[in-house]
Amino acid sequence: MRRGHGVDWSASGTGMMGEGADLNGPAIRLAIGELAGEFGLTHRTIRHYEDEGLLTPERAGTARVYGHRDRARLALICRGKRLGFSLAEIKDFLNLYDTDDAQIEQMRYMRSLARGRILALEQQLRDVQQTLSELRTIDTQISEHLRRNGITETHGMEEKHS
Amino acid sequence: MRRGHGVDWSASGTGMMGEGADLNGPAIRLAIGELAGEFGLTHRTIRHYEDEGLLTPERAGTARVYGHRDRARLALICRGKRLGFSLAEIKDFLNLYDTDDAQIEQMRYMRSLARGRILALEQQLRDVQQTLSELRTIDTQISEHLRRNGITETHGMEEKHS
DNA sequence: TCGTTCCCTGACGTTTACGTAAAGGTAAGG
DNA sequence: CCTTACCTTTACGTAAACGTCAGGGAACGA
Protein backbone atom coordinates (compact mmCIF):
# COMPACT_ATOMS: atom_id res chain seq x y z
CA MET A 1 0.00 0.00 0.00
CA ARG A 2 1.35 3.32 -1.01
CA ARG A 3 -0.79 5.67 0.98
CA GLY A 4 -2.76 5.19 4.14
CA HIS A 5 -5.34 7.76 3.28
CA GLY A 6 -5.43 11.24 1.85
CA VAL A 7 -3.00 13.05 -0.34
CA ASP A 8 0.61 13.86 0.35
CA TRP A 9 2.64 12.62 -2.55
CA SER A 10 3.13 16.02 -4.05
CA ALA A 11 4.34 19.51 -3.23
CA SER A 12 2.60 20.84 -0.18
CA GLY A 13 1.54 23.93 -2.08
CA THR A 14 1.68 27.26 -0.28
CA GLY A 15 2.03 25.68 3.07
CA MET A 16 -0.91 27.68 4.32
CA MET A 17 -2.72 24.66 5.64
CA GLY A 18 -1.23 22.35 8.16
CA GLU A 19 -3.66 19.52 8.67
CA GLY A 20 -6.32 18.38 11.11
CA ALA A 21 -9.93 19.45 11.48
CA ASP A 22 -11.76 22.62 10.49
CA LEU A 23 -15.24 23.63 11.55
CA ASN A 24 -16.81 21.09 9.25
CA GLY A 25 -15.24 18.08 10.82
CA PRO A 26 -11.97 16.34 10.04
CA ALA A 27 -10.41 17.77 6.90
CA ILE A 28 -10.68 15.34 4.06
CA ARG A 29 -8.03 15.53 1.41
CA LEU A 30 -8.56 13.01 -1.32
CA ALA A 31 -6.66 12.28 -4.48
CA ILE A 32 -8.56 11.87 -7.70
CA GLY A 33 -8.08 8.13 -7.67
CA GLU A 34 -9.57 7.79 -4.23
CA LEU A 35 -12.58 9.81 -5.17
CA ALA A 36 -12.93 7.85 -8.38
CA GLY A 37 -12.78 4.59 -6.51
CA GLU A 38 -15.26 5.71 -3.91
CA PHE A 39 -17.86 6.66 -6.50
CA GLY A 40 -17.04 4.12 -9.16
CA LEU A 41 -16.01 6.73 -11.69
CA THR A 42 -12.94 7.14 -13.84
CA HIS A 43 -10.35 9.85 -13.43
CA ARG A 44 -11.38 11.16 -16.79
CA THR A 45 -14.95 11.57 -15.67
CA ILE A 46 -14.01 13.50 -12.57
CA ARG A 47 -11.72 15.78 -14.52
CA HIS A 48 -14.49 16.25 -17.00
CA TYR A 49 -16.76 17.45 -14.23
CA GLU A 50 -14.09 19.93 -13.32
CA ASP A 51 -13.84 21.08 -16.93
CA GLU A 52 -17.56 21.64 -16.83
CA GLY A 53 -17.26 23.66 -13.65
CA LEU A 54 -18.98 21.17 -11.38
CA LEU A 55 -15.98 20.60 -9.18
CA THR A 56 -13.21 22.96 -8.13
CA PRO A 57 -10.61 21.00 -6.22
CA GLU A 58 -7.55 22.61 -4.70
CA ARG A 59 -4.14 21.87 -6.03
CA ALA A 60 -1.14 20.47 -4.32
CA GLY A 61 1.40 21.52 -6.89
CA THR A 62 -0.17 20.15 -10.03
CA ALA A 63 -2.25 17.39 -8.50
CA ARG A 64 -5.89 17.83 -7.58
CA VAL A 65 -6.92 17.64 -3.96
CA TYR A 66 -10.55 17.06 -3.10
CA GLY A 67 -12.17 18.00 0.18
CA HIS A 68 -15.51 17.80 1.86
CA ARG A 69 -17.29 20.07 -0.48
CA ASP A 70 -16.11 18.26 -3.59
CA ARG A 71 -17.08 14.89 -2.23
CA ALA A 72 -20.55 16.16 -1.33
CA ARG A 73 -21.00 17.79 -4.70
CA LEU A 74 -19.87 14.65 -6.45
CA ALA A 75 -22.48 12.68 -4.58
CA LEU A 76 -25.10 15.12 -5.79
CA ILE A 77 -23.73 14.91 -9.29
CA CYS A 78 -24.04 11.14 -9.25
CA ARG A 79 -27.57 11.31 -8.01
CA GLY A 80 -28.41 13.86 -10.63
CA LYS A 81 -27.04 11.54 -13.25
CA ARG A 82 -29.07 8.66 -11.96
CA LEU A 83 -32.07 10.91 -12.33
CA GLY A 84 -31.18 11.59 -15.92
CA PHE A 85 -30.15 15.22 -15.66
CA SER A 86 -27.52 16.68 -17.91
CA LEU A 87 -24.31 18.06 -16.48
CA ALA A 88 -25.49 21.56 -17.32
CA GLU A 89 -28.68 21.02 -15.36
CA ILE A 90 -26.77 19.52 -12.49
CA LYS A 91 -24.50 22.51 -12.47
CA ASP A 92 -27.09 25.09 -11.59
CA PHE A 93 -28.76 22.48 -9.47
CA LEU A 94 -25.60 22.41 -7.38
CA ASN A 95 -25.66 26.15 -7.03
CA LEU A 96 -28.90 25.75 -5.16
CA TYR A 97 -27.00 23.95 -2.46
CA ASP A 98 -24.51 26.67 -1.66
CA THR A 99 -26.57 29.77 -1.71
CA ASP A 100 -25.08 31.18 1.42
CA ASP A 101 -24.42 34.73 0.52
CA ALA A 102 -26.47 35.45 -2.53
CA GLN A 103 -28.14 38.75 -3.22
CA ILE A 104 -31.87 39.17 -2.97
CA GLU A 105 -32.52 38.97 -6.67
CA GLN A 106 -30.12 36.11 -6.97
CA MET A 107 -32.05 34.27 -4.30
CA ARG A 108 -35.34 34.87 -6.00
CA TYR A 109 -33.83 33.37 -9.11
CA MET A 110 -32.48 30.44 -7.17
CA ARG A 111 -35.86 29.82 -5.69
CA SER A 112 -37.48 29.88 -9.08
CA LEU A 113 -34.92 27.37 -10.28
CA ALA A 114 -35.62 25.18 -7.29
CA ARG A 115 -39.34 25.36 -7.87
CA GLY A 116 -38.99 24.51 -11.52
CA ARG A 117 -36.94 21.53 -10.60
CA ILE A 118 -39.45 20.53 -7.97
CA LEU A 119 -42.22 20.48 -10.53
CA ALA A 120 -40.11 18.37 -12.86
CA LEU A 121 -39.26 15.97 -10.09
CA GLU A 122 -42.85 15.65 -9.02
CA GLN A 123 -43.66 14.60 -12.56
CA GLN A 124 -40.76 12.22 -12.48
CA LEU A 125 -41.96 10.81 -9.20
CA ARG A 126 -45.31 10.02 -10.74
CA ASP A 127 -43.57 8.47 -13.73
CA VAL A 128 -41.45 6.24 -11.57
CA GLN A 129 -44.36 5.14 -9.44
CA GLN A 130 -46.47 4.40 -12.48
CA THR A 131 -43.71 2.46 -14.15
CA LEU A 132 -42.91 0.53 -11.01
CA SER A 133 -46.51 -0.40 -10.62
CA GLU A 134 -46.71 -1.63 -14.17
CA LEU A 135 -43.50 -3.57 -13.95
CA ARG A 136 -44.61 -5.27 -10.78
CA THR A 137 -47.78 -6.26 -12.53
CA ILE A 138 -45.76 -7.64 -15.38
CA ASP A 139 -43.54 -9.53 -13.00
CA THR A 140 -46.56 -11.02 -11.27
CA GLN A 141 -48.20 -11.94 -14.52
CA ILE A 142 -45.11 -13.62 -15.85
CA SER A 143 -44.69 -15.51 -12.62
CA GLU A 144 -48.28 -16.65 -12.74
CA HIS A 145 -47.92 -17.65 -16.33
CA LEU A 146 -44.84 -19.66 -15.51
CA ARG A 147 -46.62 -21.29 -12.61
CA ARG A 148 -49.57 -22.26 -14.76
CA ASN A 149 -47.60 -23.49 -17.73
CA GLY A 150 -44.06 -24.28 -16.83
CA ILE A 151 -44.22 -26.27 -13.63
CA THR A 152 -42.11 -28.84 -15.41
CA GLU A 153 -38.98 -26.73 -15.03
CA THR A 154 -39.67 -24.29 -12.24
CA HIS A 155 -36.41 -24.25 -10.37
CA GLY A 156 -37.96 -22.60 -7.37
CA MET A 157 -36.08 -19.33 -7.87
CA GLU A 158 -39.05 -17.34 -6.76
CA GLU A 159 -38.13 -14.74 -4.19
CA LYS A 160 -35.85 -11.85 -4.91
CA HIS A 161 -34.99 -8.56 -3.27
CA SER A 162 -34.76 -8.37 0.52
CA MET B 1 -59.29 21.86 -42.69
CA ARG B 2 -57.32 19.31 -44.57
CA ARG B 3 -58.19 16.21 -42.70
CA GLY B 4 -60.81 15.50 -40.12
CA HIS B 5 -58.72 12.93 -38.36
CA GLY B 6 -56.55 10.04 -39.33
CA VAL B 7 -54.68 9.36 -42.50
CA ASP B 8 -55.99 9.22 -46.00
CA TRP B 9 -53.91 11.51 -48.13
CA SER B 10 -51.94 8.72 -49.72
CA ALA B 11 -52.33 5.46 -51.52
CA SER B 12 -54.59 3.11 -49.60
CA GLY B 13 -51.91 0.46 -49.67
CA THR B 14 -52.85 -3.14 -50.17
CA GLY B 15 -56.44 -2.50 -49.33
CA MET B 16 -56.39 -5.33 -46.82
CA MET B 17 -57.98 -3.25 -44.12
CA GLY B 18 -61.26 -1.49 -44.55
CA GLU B 19 -61.79 0.71 -41.54
CA GLY B 20 -63.81 0.77 -38.34
CA ALA B 21 -63.17 -1.00 -35.07
CA ASP B 22 -61.17 -4.07 -34.22
CA LEU B 23 -61.10 -5.88 -30.91
CA ASN B 24 -59.11 -3.13 -29.27
CA GLY B 25 -61.59 -0.37 -29.87
CA PRO B 26 -61.93 2.01 -32.76
CA ALA B 27 -59.02 1.72 -35.16
CA ILE B 28 -56.71 4.68 -34.87
CA ARG B 29 -54.76 5.56 -37.96
CA LEU B 30 -52.48 8.50 -37.39
CA ALA B 31 -50.03 10.26 -39.65
CA ILE B 32 -46.58 11.02 -38.37
CA GLY B 33 -47.39 14.69 -37.98
CA GLU B 34 -50.39 13.97 -35.81
CA LEU B 35 -48.43 11.71 -33.57
CA ALA B 36 -45.62 14.25 -33.41
CA GLY B 37 -48.03 16.99 -32.48
CA GLU B 38 -49.72 14.87 -29.86
CA PHE B 39 -46.47 14.08 -28.11
CA GLY B 40 -44.57 17.24 -28.84
CA LEU B 41 -41.95 15.47 -30.90
CA THR B 42 -40.52 16.09 -34.35
CA HIS B 43 -41.03 13.84 -37.36
CA ARG B 44 -37.35 13.17 -37.30
CA THR B 45 -37.50 11.90 -33.76
CA ILE B 46 -40.34 9.53 -34.48
CA ARG B 47 -38.63 8.19 -37.57
CA HIS B 48 -35.53 7.77 -35.49
CA TYR B 49 -37.44 5.62 -33.06
CA GLU B 50 -38.51 3.51 -35.98
CA ASP B 51 -34.91 3.23 -37.18
CA GLU B 52 -34.04 1.98 -33.73
CA GLY B 53 -36.81 -0.58 -33.84
CA LEU B 54 -39.00 1.01 -31.21
CA LEU B 55 -41.91 1.61 -33.54
CA THR B 56 -43.13 -0.39 -36.51
CA PRO B 57 -45.90 1.54 -38.20
CA GLU B 58 -47.79 0.24 -41.18
CA ARG B 59 -47.41 1.89 -44.54
CA ALA B 60 -50.01 3.41 -46.77
CA GLY B 61 -47.94 3.48 -49.89
CA THR B 62 -44.85 5.23 -48.67
CA ALA B 63 -46.36 7.11 -45.77
CA ARG B 64 -46.30 5.80 -42.23
CA VAL B 65 -49.53 4.97 -40.50
CA TYR B 66 -49.60 4.65 -36.76
CA GLY B 67 -52.17 2.72 -34.79
CA HIS B 68 -53.06 1.93 -31.21
CA ARG B 69 -50.00 -0.01 -30.47
CA ASP B 70 -47.63 2.61 -31.80
CA ARG B 71 -49.30 5.37 -29.85
CA ALA B 72 -49.14 3.33 -26.66
CA ARG B 73 -45.53 2.44 -27.24
CA LEU B 74 -44.67 6.04 -27.96
CA ALA B 75 -46.21 7.06 -24.67
CA LEU B 76 -44.02 4.53 -22.92
CA ILE B 77 -41.01 5.73 -24.86
CA CYS B 78 -41.63 9.29 -23.73
CA ARG B 79 -42.01 8.24 -20.15
CA GLY B 80 -38.85 6.21 -20.41
CA LYS B 81 -37.05 9.24 -21.73
CA ARG B 82 -38.34 11.39 -18.90
CA LEU B 83 -36.88 8.78 -16.59
CA GLY B 84 -33.53 9.07 -18.28
CA PHE B 85 -33.40 5.70 -19.99
CA SER B 86 -31.61 5.22 -23.28
CA LEU B 87 -33.48 4.13 -26.36
CA ALA B 88 -31.79 0.77 -26.15
CA GLU B 89 -33.03 0.29 -22.60
CA ILE B 90 -36.47 1.46 -23.55
CA LYS B 91 -36.48 -1.02 -26.38
CA ASP B 92 -36.29 -4.13 -24.31
CA PHE B 93 -38.39 -2.40 -21.74
CA LEU B 94 -41.13 -2.22 -24.36
CA ASN B 95 -40.79 -5.88 -25.04
CA LEU B 96 -41.92 -6.50 -21.50
CA TYR B 97 -45.25 -5.05 -22.43
CA ASP B 98 -46.10 -7.41 -25.24
CA THR B 99 -44.93 -10.72 -24.02
CA ASP B 100 -47.97 -12.62 -25.17
CA ASP B 101 -46.57 -15.65 -26.83
CA ALA B 102 -43.10 -15.97 -25.47
CA GLN B 103 -41.44 -19.24 -24.64
CA ILE B 104 -40.79 -20.31 -21.10
CA GLU B 105 -37.13 -19.41 -21.11
CA GLN B 106 -37.92 -16.21 -22.85
CA MET B 107 -40.38 -15.35 -20.15
CA ARG B 108 -37.90 -16.08 -17.42
CA TYR B 109 -35.55 -13.71 -19.15
CA MET B 110 -38.26 -11.11 -19.44
CA ARG B 111 -39.02 -11.42 -15.80
CA SER B 112 -35.39 -11.01 -14.90
CA LEU B 113 -35.30 -7.88 -17.04
CA ALA B 114 -38.38 -6.59 -15.33
CA ARG B 115 -36.94 -7.27 -11.90
CA GLY B 116 -33.69 -5.58 -12.76
CA ARG B 117 -35.59 -2.57 -13.90
CA ILE B 118 -37.70 -2.63 -10.80
CA LEU B 119 -34.63 -2.51 -8.62
CA ALA B 120 -33.27 0.40 -10.61
CA LEU B 121 -36.54 2.24 -10.37
CA GLU B 122 -36.79 1.67 -6.66
CA GLN B 123 -33.41 3.33 -6.34
CA GLN B 124 -34.54 6.10 -8.57
CA LEU B 125 -37.66 6.54 -6.51
CA ARG B 126 -35.55 7.05 -3.42
CA ASP B 127 -33.36 9.48 -5.32
CA VAL B 128 -36.30 11.52 -6.46
CA GLN B 129 -37.87 11.62 -3.03
CA GLN B 130 -34.59 12.60 -1.42
CA THR B 131 -33.97 15.33 -3.97
CA LEU B 132 -37.50 16.63 -3.72
CA SER B 133 -37.21 16.80 0.02
CA GLU B 134 -33.97 18.72 -0.20
CA LEU B 135 -35.26 21.10 -2.81
CA ARG B 136 -38.35 21.85 -0.79
CA THR B 137 -36.13 22.61 2.15
CA ILE B 138 -34.10 24.94 0.00
CA ASP B 139 -37.24 26.62 -1.25
CA THR B 140 -38.45 27.12 2.29
CA GLN B 141 -35.12 28.42 3.47
CA ILE B 142 -34.85 30.88 0.64
CA SER B 143 -38.37 32.07 1.27
CA GLU B 144 -37.64 32.54 4.95
CA HIS B 145 -34.45 34.32 4.16
CA LEU B 146 -36.26 36.67 1.82
CA ARG B 147 -38.92 37.28 4.44
CA ARG B 148 -36.39 38.01 7.18
CA ASN B 149 -34.28 40.33 5.11
CA GLY B 150 -37.28 41.94 3.54
CA ILE B 151 -36.51 44.64 1.09
CA THR B 152 -33.33 45.84 2.77
CA GLU B 153 -30.23 44.72 1.01
CA THR B 154 -27.88 42.40 2.78
CA HIS B 155 -24.61 43.92 1.55
CA GLY B 156 -23.00 40.56 2.01
CA MET B 157 -20.32 41.52 -0.50
CA GLU B 158 -19.10 37.96 -0.65
CA GLU B 159 -17.67 37.14 -4.01
CA LYS B 160 -19.09 34.28 -5.97
CA HIS B 161 -18.37 33.11 -9.43
CA SER B 162 -21.30 33.33 -11.78
C1' DT C 1 -51.89 24.51 -63.40
C1' DC C 2 -49.84 26.40 -59.51
C1' DG C 3 -49.14 26.72 -54.71
C1' DT C 4 -49.54 24.75 -50.31
C1' DT C 5 -49.30 21.21 -47.17
C1' DC C 6 -48.46 17.11 -46.10
C1' DC C 7 -45.26 13.21 -46.52
C1' DC C 8 -40.58 10.54 -48.04
C1' DT C 9 -35.43 9.12 -48.16
C1' DG C 10 -30.67 9.95 -47.63
C1' DA C 11 -26.85 11.91 -45.45
C1' DC C 12 -23.94 15.01 -43.10
C1' DG C 13 -23.81 18.07 -38.70
C1' DT C 14 -24.20 18.72 -33.59
C1' DT C 15 -24.27 18.15 -28.65
C1' DT C 16 -23.31 15.54 -24.59
C1' DA C 17 -20.42 12.79 -21.97
C1' DC C 18 -17.13 10.86 -21.69
C1' DG C 19 -13.08 7.02 -23.75
C1' DT C 20 -8.54 6.55 -25.08
C1' DA C 21 -4.11 7.20 -26.32
C1' DA C 22 0.29 10.03 -26.24
C1' DA C 23 3.76 12.05 -23.70
C1' DG C 24 5.41 13.20 -19.50
C1' DG C 25 6.27 14.87 -14.31
C1' DT C 26 7.06 13.13 -9.34
C1' DA C 27 8.01 10.46 -5.30
C1' DA C 28 8.57 6.02 -2.79
C1' DG C 29 10.98 1.58 -2.82
C1' DG C 30 14.20 -2.12 -4.13
C1' DC D 1 19.17 4.42 -10.86
C1' DC D 2 15.22 2.33 -12.38
C1' DT D 3 10.73 0.64 -11.88
C1' DT D 4 6.19 1.31 -10.18
C1' DA D 5 2.39 3.80 -9.10
C1' DC D 6 0.47 7.63 -8.90
C1' DC D 7 -0.68 12.00 -11.07
C1' DT D 8 -0.70 15.74 -15.20
C1' DT D 9 -2.20 17.96 -19.96
C1' DT D 10 -3.54 17.85 -24.81
C1' DA D 11 -6.25 16.10 -28.13
C1' DC D 12 -8.54 13.10 -31.22
C1' DG D 13 -12.31 9.36 -31.09
C1' DT D 14 -16.99 7.71 -30.24
C1' DA D 15 -21.83 6.47 -29.23
C1' DA D 16 -26.38 8.26 -28.57
C1' DA D 17 -30.05 11.03 -30.05
C1' DC D 18 -31.42 13.59 -32.65
C1' DG D 19 -31.10 18.44 -35.99
C1' DT D 20 -30.83 20.05 -40.48
C1' DC D 21 -30.52 20.43 -45.07
C1' DA D 22 -31.19 18.65 -49.95
C1' DG D 23 -34.12 16.80 -53.23
C1' DG D 24 -38.48 14.84 -54.30
C1' DG D 25 -43.48 12.81 -54.53
C1' DA D 26 -48.54 13.04 -53.89
C1' DA D 27 -52.95 15.11 -52.89
C1' DC D 28 -55.98 19.13 -52.39
C1' DG D 29 -57.87 23.77 -53.14
C1' DA D 30 -58.14 28.12 -55.82
Share of chain B above pLDDT 70, in %: 73
Per mean pLDDT, which of B3-7, B50-54, B152-156 is the most reliable? B50-54
Identify which has the larger pLDDT, B53 or B154.
B53
Identify whether B156 is part of a domain: no
Cα–Cα distance for residue pair A135/B79, rounded to 1 Å: 13
B124 touches chain A (CB under 8 A): yes
- Do residues B79 and B111 both lie within one domain? no
More confident residue, B13 or A35: A35
The DSSP bridge partners found for residue B63 are B60
Note the helical H segments in A31-103. Answer: 32-39, 43-51, 68-82, 87-95
pLDDT of res. A125:
93
Tens of pLDDT along chain A (162 residues) come to: 333 344 544 333 333 343 444 455 568 899 999 999 999 999 999 999 999 999 999 999 999 999 999 999 999 999 999 888 999 999 988 988 877 666 788 888 888 989 999 998 999 999 999 999 999 999 998 899 888 886 654 443 333 333
Q: Is residue A60 part of a domain?
A: yes
Same domain (yes/no): B103, B139: yes
Give B42→chain A minimum CA distance, Å: 21
Strand C proximal to A136 Cβ, under 7 A: no
Look at chain A and report how many structural domains it folds into. 2
| Residue range B77-123, pLDDT digits in tens | 999 998 899 999 999 889 888 776 667 888 888 889 899 999 989 99
Q: How far is CA A150 from CA A48, B110, B130, in A?
A: 50, 15, 41
Whole-angstrom CA distances from B31 to A90, B35, B72, B140 are 37, 6, 15, 47
DSSP H or E segment with residue A99: none
We report the CATH number of the domain holding residue B64 as: 1.10.1660.10
Inter-chain contact A146–B104, Cβ cutoff 8 Å?
yes
Residue B30 is classified by DSSP as B
Query: Does a structural domain hold residue A64?
Result: yes
> Which residue range is the domain that position A66 belongs to?
26-85
The answer to whether A79 touches A121, Cβ cutoff 8 Å, is no
State the distance between the two ends of chain A, measured CA to CA, in whole angstroms: 36
| Residue type (1 letter), B70 | D
Q: How many A-B residue pairs are in contact by the CB < 8 A criterion? A: 126
| B11 pLDDT above the threshold of 60 | no
Q: How far is CA A41 from CA A35, A61, A68, B158, in A?
A: 8, 23, 18, 33
Rounded distance, CA B39 to CA A37, Å?
A: 41
